[in-house]
Amino acid sequence: MIRASEENPFTDSVREECGVFGICAPNADVVSATFHALFSLQHRGQESAGMAVNRKGVIELYKDVGLVGEVFTPDVMRKLGDGELAMGHVRYATTGDKRISNAQPLLVNHLKGSMALCHNGNLTNAHELREKLELRSAIFHTTSDTEVMAYVITQERLQCQSIELAVARAMKRIRGAYTAVVMSPRKLIAFRDPLGFRPLCIGKLDGGYVFASETCALDAIGASFVRDVAPGEIVVATTDGQLTSIQTEKSNSHALCVFELIYFARPDSVIDGTSVHESRLKAGALLAINHPVQADVVVGVPDSGLDAALGYARQSGIPYGIGFIKNKYIGRTFIEPGQSARAHAVRIKLNPVAETVRGKRVVLVDDSLVRGTTQTRIVKLLREVGAKEVHVRLSAPPFRYPCFFGTDVDSVEHLIAHNHSLDEIREIIGADSLEYFAEKDLPKLDRSGCGRFCDACFTGNYPVSVPKRQNKNKFETRIGEESDADDADACAGKRD
């Protein structure tokens, strides 16, 4: 992990921005439903959580820094009361720092009423739009690109007859990866960018409709899956139970972020028709076919490496074992104070099961390798408890290029695969062998086999133009500071 791992030494994978949820169901307990849905989406963001509730056209908002269970205490839930519409958000920052003002939803009051907005993704032209807005006297209260989106929609709303038309016009001005839910006094609107970088689905509950980043949120509240929001589509739900679709201009290609299937999404979710669990099993099986090894046991790194490890074991015939126990009570905000304590950080989060690996040749399956620091410690842990050999297999290709579409990797500086050869990486992490998932097999992770993915972080082939200068905290950068994204400029759109 680029920035996050400098603070938190427990993980070494990319992190995704956030999860969104919205419900328009007057016959349901929308506040309780939103709480439980956000709980199921907690894996998508642990920095802050928020909820907006619409009660007879009046929108009330509560948000704070922390996990869902910490933010929405019983007292807060009682104060939120009930309503006909609600929306919620869990956030991990890829643009904007960890301040409460950056928590979502955002609530905007304007001449024609009010609007709440939740957003997942990253606008590639946010800096350009914000600069133009500020030159027209716009005052920003956050450092998130979500506020830029809110301003653009509000500008359009003041000039057109409906909120959905304002969204359609705004979509012509914003660029990049986004799924969003907007609440007006009488409507709930979901929309997705023309390439469909980020997932968004529709469910039905108690005669109304819900929108969510993943289907696991629908399962959590007992909603039935209807379909995915199509790339470039705007979907409008109203309190009378109507659902309307508006298809805006969209690209002929589909560019779902491949890391949704490899790492971000929960295994029990279905993304654009593809089961995340089945996709990861397939990735493990393909790893076993392409990169076999003589070994005694296959273990996975919790959580996203477990399914791929099971797939590797089934395909190879090597027994599957529980190699690590994960401490689920340590959130991503936990930070060790000193270097000596950092050395023990991985053992606090992941403890090896010695009986599984002692004296054995181990196949260690993980989802990806970004910096390599955590993988090095994990391999060392296995050796310390007696593993005879450690063969690392990764269910993602080498991560060589920065992402501009909503993951926490905006510089090549610490991307180990960009700066080192396979043999060098193997030596750095201390493995007996190291192999990656093949780029050519990525289309096979999609149930349709069409490979409708954005794989730019592996290939450098970006599906849309990317900004020349952009980093995670682009709106916090002080005058005169240099952006570390300059390193990305040299390699954007190019292969090694």
Q: Where are the domains of the chain?
A: 4-252, 270-451
Assess whether pLDDT exceeds 90 at residue 477.
no
Any catalytic annotation for residue 454? Answer: no
Q: What does the pLDDT read at residue 73? A: 97
For 50-94, the pLDDT digits (tens) are 999 999 999 999 999 999 999 999 999 999 999 999 999 999 865
The pLDDT > 70 percentage for the chain reads 84
Q: What does the pLDDT read at residue 101? A: 82
Both tokens of 283, joined, read 């990735």
CA 64, CA 297: separation in Å to the nearest integer?
44
Both tokens of 392, joined, read 């690392």
Q: What does residue 311 show for φ and ψ, rounded to 5 degrees? A: -65, -40
Assess whether pLDDT exceeds 70 at residue 452.
yes
For 193-233, the pLDDT digits (tens) are 999 999 999 999 999 999 999 999 999 999 999 999 999 99
User: What CATH number should be reported for the domain whose range is 270-451?
Assistant: 3.40.50.2020
Assess whether pLDDT exceeds 90 at residue 468.
no
Residue 335: pLDDT band with limits 50, 70, 90: very low
User: What CATH number should be reported for the domain whose range is 4-252?
Assistant: 3.60.20.10
SS3 314: helix
Cβ neighbourhood burial of 477 (10 Å; 0-12, 13-18, 19+): middle
User: 4-252 and 270-451 share one CATH topology?
Assistant: no
Nearest partner of 171 among 233, 107, 95, judged by Cα: 233
Q: What does the pLDDT read at residue 10? A: 36
Task: Please tell me the least confidently modeled range out of 35-49, 95-109, 263-277, 392-406.
Answer: 95-109
The pLDDT > 90 percentage for the chain reads 71
Q: What does the pLDDT read at residue 408? A: 67
Dmax of the chain from CA atoms? 71
Cβ neighbourhood burial of 290 (10 Å; 0-12, 13-18, 19+): middle
Q: 406 or 492: whose pLDDT is higher?
A: 406
Q: 289 or 127: whose pLDDT is higher?
A: 289
Q: What does the pLDDT read at residue 98? A: 60
Assess whether pLDDT exceeds 60 at residue 15.
no
Q: What does the pLDDT read at residue 12? A: 52
Kind plus residue range of the DSSP H or E element containing 135 = helix 126-135
Q: How far, in whole angstroms, is CA 187 from its chain's centroid?
A: 26
Assess whether pLDDT exceeds 70 at residue 489.
no
Q: What does the pLDDT read at residue 177? A: 94
Q: How many CB atoms lie within 10 A of CB 238?
A: 16
Q: What is the mean pLDDT of residues 406-415?
A: 76
Specify the pairing of strand 256-257 against strand 453-454: parallel
For 134-158, the pLDDT digits (tens) are 888 778 888 888 999 999 999 999 9
Q: 284 or 98: whose pLDDT is higher?
A: 284
Task: Please tell me the least confidently modeled range out of 38-52, 120-134, 381-395.
Answer: 120-134
Residue 397: pLDDT band with limits 50, 70, 90: very high
Q: What does the pLDDT read at residue 475? A: 44
Q: What is the mean pLDDT of residues 178-196?
A: 96
The residue annotated as part of the active site, out of 18, 24, 118, 403, is 18
Residue 334: pLDDT band with limits 50, 70, 90: very low
| pLDDT, averaged across the chain | 87
